[in-house]
Structure formats: structure tokens, C-alpha cells
Chains A and B, each alone.
Chain A
Amino acid sequence: MNPRVFVPGDAAAAAVGADEVATAVAAEAARLGVPVQIVRNGSRGVFEFETLVEIETGAGRIGYGPIYPEDVAGLMAAGFLQGGPHPKRVGRPEALPFLARQTRLTFARCGLTDPFSIDDYRANGGIVGLEKALRLGPAEIVERVKASGLRGRGGAGFPAGIKWETVARAQALQKYVVCNADEGDSGTFADRMLLEGDPFLLIEGMVIAGLAVGASQGFIYVRSEYPHAIAAIRRATAAARATGLLGASAGGGSRAFDIEVRVGAGAYVCGEETALLESLEGKRGQVRAKPPLPAHAGLFGRPTLVNNVLTLAAVPFILAQGADAYASLGHGRSRGTLPVQLAGDVRNGGLFETPFGMPLAELVDDIGGGTLSGRPVRAVQVGGPLGAYFPRTLFDTPLDYEAFAARDGLIGHGGVVVFNDTVDMGQQARFALEFCAIESCGKCTPCRIGSVRGAETLDRILAGERPEANLAVLNDLCEVMAAGSLCALGGLTPYPVRSALKHFAEDFGAVPRAAADVS
């Protein structure tokens, strides 16, 4: 067999020239008359080294990075195909501290395998969970998911097993499994990495979910801004269909399950599950009131399991290794691992999967290595654009849904964005309101009008216009939005606003005493 060279095909790698690197490797090998097999694997998620090119050797895979097209000739000349020395040789990727310190359950295969090779998937531990699920039967699958303590990774952290059970118990001829891959939070990329790097894992998770809840049809709703992910998951579902993972007897069992990939139309709010369902039905992406819960009346009015990519992708491990293996990890009521996405002004950006419980400081300073710019960290926003801004004084907060909630923060989808000391928190608070105004579906009043009025009021505060009175207005508005909004978009927008006001009062011109009273 020809030596296998791994050049990530992932969008993050492509963004730094991976495609050109792959072309250059092929061209150089041809020029040298050396036969090579180039595998476009997923990304390992260590962005510091991307494009991370790997060569399979007798001593395991040896990585080189970051590799640019112009490095390729030198690399080949340095005996890279044999794992030879080179300034950019990083050794065995697994040994990189950023990877070595992770507990990769969901992302175990990401970057390791050819994302579109079902054989590769199987050879690396795939399908085991599904095979067990096929033997267990629906009720037992649900029990295991419940026992694992897995909670929804989309942001709300709702116990997945309870949701599965609700859909499983709903009586209907047709049920659906919908995967929410509308990953719109700023600073998040885990869904995309998985869709591109290990799509069969998601497919396997969905087939298991279909078995558990009695659904024969699944949908994956991917945001339109993810063209690589869309192509990847489409290619993977086609491959899954061709090999019987999907189809009339999905995974070789007696039940049918198939998946259709649908693409969003550029609305953040369609990541909200009911707006997503509206969009899937071909309507404008507008939030539905709950109840009815999607679990009772979801897509086309049928019982529907809506889960995030990471939730579904966690399931094969739980089935394969047992609920205890998953539940034994974690902190408090937050069990298992969280694929954290480190972004912003951070030295070691990337995907870091870790059991719940790691304090924020360790994540930011130790794992993340502080800022890339070298400036001091001033604030961290966890959980996307609607997450709270935490100052260093709160960096002792462990990654844990309840611990974050106790400090008026949220974990959300696990995005961690680091800001250095040049950040203007007044502008960040304004950005939250502006973001809400731009992305609001417009259905409920607090979000539709409140977001605009909030930004206007904040402008007045920042301009020093009757700051105390306007702060009172803003606080009242935050209360109305938080308590009165129909969905989390309007309901969570006060989080970044209030946290900025509370922890970074100095950025709002006057010392906002009124804001300090809020909590």
C-alpha cells in the first residue's frame, strides 16, 4: 500500500490553505515519482498547527504543521514520508499537550479517519453503539441515554433522555428526528468540525435516536454558511445509504431510517428549535409558542426529537461503552464531556473536549495559553453572542451548567471567546442588542421592538445623555425581554448586556449604580 498522507479537508484547514497543500503534495510526489495516497481527513482541532499534515508510519502518525504550500517541497525533501525531521515536525499529534489533555469521546475519530470511508469509521470503533442499540430495543436505549446524564448540547442543557422518552411515548404513525446543525453562535465550530470530520458518527447517533423514539425519517438542518459541511454530510448520507447504514433496514436492523439534509437561509433564529421546524416546513423562520412541545407536535405537527449535533453524536459512545462510562465523567449535574471551542484572542484556539468541571481560568490561561496578542485577558464570553461576559474575578467558575447559571451566565453550545484589555464593553453590550435586533424573527414584542429600543437607549447612555434615567430604562427593558420574550433570543440578550453593565461599569461612562442593583 502506498504511504498515506493526511491533509485535512476541513473548512478551517482549507481556510489556511489545506487544499493547496494537498495539491502541492500530490504534485511534488508525482514529480518525484513517489506514489502516495492522500487522505483528506477531518481537522484535529489544534488550529495552531493547521494545516496539520500527517504521515502514517510504522511508529504511528507523525504530524507536521502548520504547513503552507510552499513548505511542501522542503517537506518531501526532508523525508517527510518516512516521518523525517523537519522544523515543523510536531511528532505524534496525540502527544501534543492540547490533544493529550483532552478526553475525546465525541471527537475521538475526528481528524483520525477518512470522513467518508465507512470502513475507516468501522475500523475505528464506529457502529458498535448502533449494533448494541439494535439488540436493546427502544425502551432500553432511552434508559441508557437517561442513565448517561447526557444533556442537550445546543444550549438549554435539557436532559436528553427525558426528551427521547417523551417522543418515544408520543403516539403517532409518523415521527421525526431532527438534527439541529444551524450552528450560528459566534465563536463556535464544533458542529461543523464534526459534520466535516466524522459525519458517520452523527448519522449513527440519529439512527439510534430513530430506533429509540420510533421515527423513520431524520432531517439535518445545516446553516447555509457551511457549504463544506453541507457537502460533507450529503456525501456521508449518500455513502451511508449505499452501505445500508441508512435505508429500509437501517444499520442491518429491522427498522427503516433515512436522513434528508436541508439547508437554512441565513437566519440565526432558525437555530431555535421551533423556528427551525418552521423553516424545515418551508415557512418563514418564526418561533412557535410552546406548548405544544416539538416532542408532541413538532415537524408537520408530528412528534419530533430535535437535538443538537453534539447531543446526537454523544449517543454512540454511550451505547457502545455504557451509560456509566459517560456518566462517570463530569461535574455536578453536568455529566460527560463538553467539546469546548476556544476562540477570540486566544493563543491555542481550537476544539477542546473535556469532562465538565474544568474551571474557566484553566481553560483560558492554561489550555488556551492566554491571548494570542499577548495582552491581558479582560473578559470571556461563554455560550455565544447571548452568553454573559465574565471578568477574571469569575474565572474560578467550573464548566457546569448550574455553576454558570448561578453566576448569571450560560454554557450554551460551549463556545468560549476571549477578549483582551482593549475591548470596549459598552460596545459589546450594544452589539448584543444590535445582534438581537438584526436576528430577531420579529414575532414577539420584547425582542422585535425591545432590541432596537435597547440599542438606542444604550447609545444615549454611552453618549452621556441622562445616564441614570436611561440606565433605569435599560434595566426595565432587560427585565421585560428576559421575562417576556417568546424564545431564548430575546430572553438571553439581557445576559451579555447586564453582565457587561455589572462587571464592567467603567465602560458605560458613569458608574451604573442602577445596574449593580439588578442582580
Chain B
Amino acid sequence: MVRGWKTVLTVAGLAVLGAVPSVAIAQDNMQSDSMKKDDAMQDSMKHDTMKRGDTEPDKNRKALFTGTFHGKVHSTSGRATVYQGAGGKRILRLTHFKTSNGPDVHVILVAARDVKDDANSLSGNVERIELGKLKGNEGDQNYELPENIDLGKFQTVSIYCERFNAVFGAAALAKF
């Protein structure tokens, strides 16, 4: 009987050890990619000048791209906007944002014009850039973009559950 207990403990221990690393490995599929310079960045106000108030602390801050979220499997809404600061650093900001909570949900950029609302529409071949774990399923939040990402190529923001390869929602970015 004592040997039986040991066997069971070993089996149970192995089951836990076996399950955890497979999940851990599943999180490492993201690869950052593309080192091309971004041409779309050189957009400038052309004819009318922007109306401005008297004080102007950060003249270079501007919204580059924006789009609204759609998502059916897990209802997702809100806006995604890419800002550029004075130093050239780019930040993705989600506003009026709402989606489902879930396990292992990430914010990614996808090299596609848009992503379909099907749950598993992101097949393995699509290039993607990891921006980080979703900070909250509701509310305004910022994500830093790695340098040198070509936003002419990575045109879609997606809320993506890596564990189940499920697209919660997506926003196609258009020039602001």
C-alpha cells in the first residue's frame, strides 16, 4: 500500500509538472520582427495650421494612427490610437476600452489590414509584435511600441488570448 501511495504521488506530481511547462512554452510564441523605417511618420499638417492655445509645452506630440475596436466572440469596443512624443517614442493608447476578462490576454500588432472577428482567425503565419499583457479589460491604458516598427505594415491592433489562440477584438489603424 505504501508503494501505491508513492506511485500516485509521483503520477500526480508529474501531471502538474507536465502541464505547467507546456503552458509556459505556449506563451513564448510571439516574435518581434521588421526593422524597416516608417515612411508614414512624415505626415504633416499642410494647408491650414492647427488652431492652438497660448501655451504649447510639447509641440511634437501628435496622434499618428487611430481606429475603433470590433469584436464579436468576446464583445470588444473602444479606440486605439498611436501617439508620438517629442523624442520620437511611440505609444499605443486604448481609450473608452472594454473587453472580456480572460487568462493570458495580450495586446499585439498584426501585419494585416484588419483581423476578422472569428475567434481563431490569427493563424500561425501572420507576423505579429507583442506589446505586453493587457493591463485591464476596462479603461484607458498605454503600451510602449518597440522602436523601428513599420506601422505601414503592422496596421492592426488585436486583443489576443495566447493560451487559446483566440482573438477577443481588433482595431484597424488608419492615419489620423
Determine if chain A interacts with chain B: no
